[in-house]
Amino acid sequence: MSDISVKDPALEANAGPSLAEINGTVEVPQSGGFLRKLMAWSGPGALVAVGYMDPGNWITSIVGGAKYHYLLMSVVLISSLIAMMLQFMAAKLGIVAQKDLAQMIRDSTNRTTGWILWFVTELAIMATDMAEVIGAAIAINLLFGFPLIWGVLITSADVLLLLLLMKLGFRKIEAIVATLILVILVIFLYMAVLAKPDMGQATVNLLPHSDILKSGQLTLALGIVGATVMPHNLYLHSSISQTRKIDRSKPSRIREALKFTAWDSNIQLTGAFVVNALLLIVGAALFFGHSDMQAFGDLYRALNNNQIVGAIASPFLSMLFAVALLASGQNSTITGTLTGQIIMEGFAHLQLPMWVQRVVTRGLALVPIIIFALIFGATEGALDNLLVYSQVFLSVALPFSMFPLIYFTSRSKFMGEYKNATWMTAIAYVVATALTVLNFQLIVQTVAMIF
């Protein structure tokens, strides 16, 4: 990355602010106590946290508990700590450089490289959106019995809801997303209480155990890590961190912005860690010894089977699971659609009407789902397989986002006095390299399993 330079100043000059319709629209208090300011800055972290508890994370965490009991709790914790570091870098990039990651990459590469990276990133957004649409469609099927293809089409219509919410203000979107996260948290907390897990074992396994390095355990651990850190969140956070109005004439205000953004991000990602930990705990407490469950439908039906779950099995419990899945999928489609606009504007500088951008972004995700459904059938198993394939592609795309992010935030040229500390840059590069290697290994294993 050392040879990066601005190659296309005309494009850079024409680039407007990220998500211009909401950029700098949220007022923050200039005075008052810590809690008042924190509440004003809170919100973007919730939208980011959604990506760490989306349907793609559910299967890996629940199956991890079903197969290996509480052993992989430390993997969930480490993944969350990595997420906190990378997401703060992304938010800091937006606040200090006043550009999102897509804009920075496009404006700092030549035209050919920029278009290649846009293509890869656009595919990653499609893969992300596919997973969210599939998860919500399966939830609709489980709750209401609608055919899966209808569920896909119903879920895709939420793009119209997002258009309405944008008219009402960005804070409304933040509030709705936070409410849906709370629904997911409460449902799994309730399920965990009913399951009566061994919290002593769960707590002990927050420290890594050598058994994780065994073949089967390592494969699933890689799946948890690979499903946790996803490229679209880095683009999203670098953009929505700019929604707050900051007096940039005062360096103290920028430092305050970074401080409260870090608080917001870390608090929300801690909530995401709790949800993912609960997913694994529920999997361990209810399904250990029944590791043949690999799909959402399997889990839904198991919650209504007293031979597996025991006395707590009930239609109500399985319904709560489907409601939480629907909330997760709906939340993720909102943030995925926003990210699609960020990518399109940042890389291609396409200034299209908002509704066109939303429809195009969602349409790009729907095309492969519909084609896959027509070829292999709109069945639960087929869509579950497509969800797995989408997560594998995200592993391929992740390095194209991580390494530029670390590079930009560690250079005075872009960040001035706010660049990463040397120790943080070193840790970030080690983590990014390790994630790349682990994701590559996961890809090889997945391909070998398929063929």
Within a domain: 180 = yes
Within a domain: 12 = no
pLDDT on residue 226? 64
CB 226 within 8 A of CB 442: yes
Within a domain: 6 = no
Within a domain: 188 = yes
Structure confidence at residue 162 as a pLDDT band (50, 70, 90)? low
Residue type, 421: A
The more confident residue out of 181 and 372 is 181
pLDDT on residue 4? 38
Within a domain: 124 = yes
Of 55, 63, 48, 51, whose CA–CA distance to 137 is shortest?
Answer: 55
Q: Which residues pair with 26 in a beta bridge?
A: 244
CB 237 within 8 A of CB 34: no
pLDDT at residue 26 tops 90: no
Average pLDDT, the chain: 82
The torsion angles phi and psi of 145, rounded to 5 degrees, stand at 80, 10
pLDDT at residue 5 tops 50: no
Within a domain: 323 = yes
**CATH number of the CATH domain containing 268:** 1.20.1740.10
Within a domain: 5 = no
Name the most confidently modeled range: 48-62, 104-118, 282-296: 104-118
Residue type, 70: Y
pLDDT on residue 216? 72
The more confident residue out of 407 and 334 is 407
Structure confidence at residue 405 as a pLDDT band (50, 70, 90)? very high
The DSSP element (H or E) to which 380 belongs, if any, is helix 380-397
* Domains: count for the chain: 1
Share of the chain above pLDDT 70, in %: 86
pLDDT at residue 447 tops 80: no
pLDDT at residue 311 tops 90: no
Of 398, 396, 373, whose CA–CA distance to 386 is shortest?
Answer: 373
Angular region, 305: left φ>0, alpha ψ -120 to 50, beta rest: beta
Structure confidence at residue 351 as a pLDDT band (50, 70, 90)? low
CB 206 within 8 A of CB 74: yes
Half-sphere exposure of 35 (CA within 13 A, CB side): 0
Within a domain: 275 = yes
Q: What is the DSSP letter of 303?
A: T
Q: What's the domain range around 202?
A: 18-450
What does the alpha-carbon distance between residue 402 and residue 423 come to, in Å, rounded to a whole number? 17
